[in-house]
Amino acid sequence: MKNVIVYGAAMVLFMVGAITEVHAQRGHKEDKYWERRKEADKKRAEYIRENEKKRDEYIRERRKKEDEYYRESTKRRREYHKEVRKHGRPVWASAHRYDERNHIYFPDYRTFYDPYRGGYVFLNGGRWAFSAQIPSFMINVDLGRANVRILKDIPLERHPEDFYDDYDEEY
């Protein structure tokens, strides 16, 4: 019986020693886990800082481009209004309550008035032609009484003849 008690005590000591060693090894692994976790957190924080720097740089560049675009747009608009004042309004404009903010289409003559360029665009021999003065075939026409269509859906900077097919079908 004495052997059994000694043998049992030896087993208990062996088990306690094994469990302690396992806990010691596990603790060591857990230390490595937390070290790796801290390293990963540092890398993540650095990655986030770099991306924020890139985003801020992008936003600064974007704002510069937008500011430049709006400066140029304002400059073009001022030049346009200066040209309009220089040439004056067409004679027929007041009869149609036209304020030179849109293109005008004369469907009976297949002619556009382009206020941006300050003249008339018309078909001449199957090709579009531009003239600052009234085209010769419209000289004796009373444009104050002519059938007109104000084209509000075409941007002022665009050429109205590019949209001719859209308006020719309606008349």
Query: Is residue 146 domain-resident?
Result: yes
Span 120-165, pLDDT tens digits: 899 888 888 998 888 888 888 888 888 888 887 777 777 787 777 7
b or e along 88-121 (b: 16 or more beta carbons within 10 Å of the residue's beta carbon)?
Answer: eebebbeebebebebbbbbeebebbbbbbebbbb
12/82 same-domain check: yes
Query: Is residue 11 domain-resident?
Result: yes
Query: Is residue 97 domain-resident?
Result: no
Span 62-92, pLDDT tens digits: 999 999 999 988 888 777 667 656 666 676 6
6/70 same-domain check: yes
The pTM for the full model equals 0.47
Q: Dmax of the chain from CA atoms?
A: 138
74/1 same-domain check: yes
| Domain final position from 87, 117, 142 | 87
94 and 148 Cβ atoms separated by less than 8 Å: no
1/80 same-domain check: yes
* Residue span of the structural domain in which 33 resides: 1-87
48/108 same-domain check: no
